[in-house]
Amino acid sequence: MDFDTRAFRHALGSFPTGVAVMTTTGAVPGEAEDVSHIGITVNSFTSVSLDPPLVLWCIDRRSRRYPAFAEAPGFTVSILAAGHKAVSSRLAGPGEHRLEGIALTPTALGPPALADSLAVFECAREQIWDAGDHAILLGRVLRFASHAQAGAPLVYFKGRYGALAQGTPPEGVAGRRVTDKD
Ligand SMILES: Cc1cc2nc3c(=O)[nH]c(=O)nc-3n(C[C@H](O)[C@H](O)[C@H](O)COP(=O)(O)O)c2cc1C
């Protein structure tokens, strides 16, 4: 089949997501075996299982950051707030994986989290599967923290950053969570 990859990517962008930064500790090829904390901006983060607690995300196997994430025993997930737009753009830049100059918070188990994140998940790498040009990284959540007061999420939609509209929710059901039981 003659598949238009650009159009496919564009169509996938119709699915709005949040934005997360994954951090780990490792070496990036071409940087003289220099082991350091590194990060990558992703929107492929997904919850998988409550019990056991599992999450996943996908990394481009062509990324220079891939070997570090594939080999590390774990990673830290930072869910970004609207105020993280600049740091999100920076950690999405080619070769821009270093965390120097970015406000960080230490974690109990390993790689630091971004300061002022909406939530942080400290994960052990449970599984990794090759999936086309990406790899799927499954993490077991060992610790987490949720910071409700941290404010609005950073949103990604059709290749652009955005924010949640503060308007009337669909069907006017204000103040009720979709997951609330009757
Ligand atoms: C909002 C956003 C979401 C992204 N999501 C992913 C993702 O889920 N997986 C991924 O591998 N790269 C993702 N990227 C691209 C990486 O952040 C980064 O640009 C790429 O790894 C840079 O290549 P390098 O590691 O070779 O320097 C995303 C970029 C942006 C701006």
> What confidence tens digit (pLDDT) does each residue in 128-144 have?
999 999 999 999 999 99
Q: Is residue 85 in contact with ligand 1, taking CB distance under 6 Å? A: no
Report pLDDT for 61.
98
**CATH code assigned at 51:** 2.30.110.10
Q: Is the CB of 137 under 6 A from ligand 1?
A: no
What spacing in Å lies between the alpha carbon of 79 and ligand 1's midpoint? 15
| 182 has a pLDDT exceeding 60 | no
Section 150-169 average pLDDT = 87
In what helix (H) or strand (E) does residue 22 lie, and over which residues does it extend?
strand 20-27
CA of 21 to the centre of ligand 1 (A): 10
Task: Tell me how many domains the chain contains.
Answer: 1
Range of the domain at 56: 17-157
Cα of 123 to ligand 1 centre, how many Å? 19
Predicted TM-score (pTM) above 0.75: yes
131 falls within a domain: yes
In terms of pLDDT, which residue wins out, 176 or 152? 152
From the CB of 31, is ligand 1 less than 6 Å away?
no
What value does the mean pLDDT take over residues 66-72? 97
Q: With respect to residue 92, please indicate whether it lies within any of the assigned structural domains.
A: yes
Instruction: Compute how many other C-beta atoms are within 10 angstroms of the C-beta atom of residue 148.
Output: 7
**141 Cβ closer than 6 Å to some ligand 1 atom:** no
Percent of the chain with pLDDT over 70: 90
> If you search the block for the tokens 């969570």, which residue do you land on?
177
Asked if residue 9 is part of any domain, the answer here is no
Gap from CA of 90 to ligand 1 centroid (Å): 10
- Three-class SS state of 125: strand
Distance CA 162, CA 23 (A): 23
- For residue range 52-63, list pLDDT tens digits in order: 999 999 999 999
